[in-house]
Amino acid sequence: MTEALWYLGRGSGVVSLVLLSIVVALGIGARSGRTAFGLPRFAVNMLHRNAALLAVALLVGHVVSLWFDPYAQLRFFDLVVPFAGEYRPFWLGLGTLAFDLVLALIATSLLRHRLGVRGWRLVHWLAYLCWPISLLHGWQTGTDAASWWLRTVLVLSTALVLAAVAWRVTPSFARFPARAPRRVRTPQEVR
């Protein structure tokens, strides 16, 4: 059972980070007026939202499985208070900080109708901060931190987000889609 918890904790953390990278890239892409991957804008937004939900579910699996794993020996305090853990306190603290940011994102998303769009968007910018913090946590924490396969996953995740950011800062990135001008129909076209 302990070994299963350990593998679940590691695997769910890695997949959650990959999904978070996809969520950030899709979030950047959703701000464009262009279609991404041949999908209409609403589909990109749905994919962004669903990938975020799956990333959060896997993140919760990551945290809970490592909390119950006797090898990790994490206390509840370590899971909610950054930089208080005994094992690699800085790097584990980055993971805790990212988890706290995700909790803030979830809470504000659930209260979005009460916060208003501006308040929600302001807090939602934390997602951009959450991604590099999570990446650094994954880069330096755990038994797989120095493995080639994890480094490859982290490099590819970084490349994806950097490509999205590079696209975002180009002049060709249309922040708000231009609407086609309405054409007034002639009386002959109406008949």
45's CB contacts (< 8 A; 6+ apart) are: 30
Residue-wise pLDDT for 63-104, tens only, equals 999 899 888 788 888 888 899 888 888 999 999 999 999 988
Predicted local distance difference test score (pLDDT) of residue 128: 82
Which residues of the chain, if any, have pLDDT below 70? 1, 33-37, 173-191
**Residue of 97, 105, 103, 87 lying closest to 134 (CA atoms):** 97
pLDDT score recorded for residue 1: 61
Q: Please tell me the pTM assigned to this model.
A: 0.82
pLDDT for the residue 36: 66
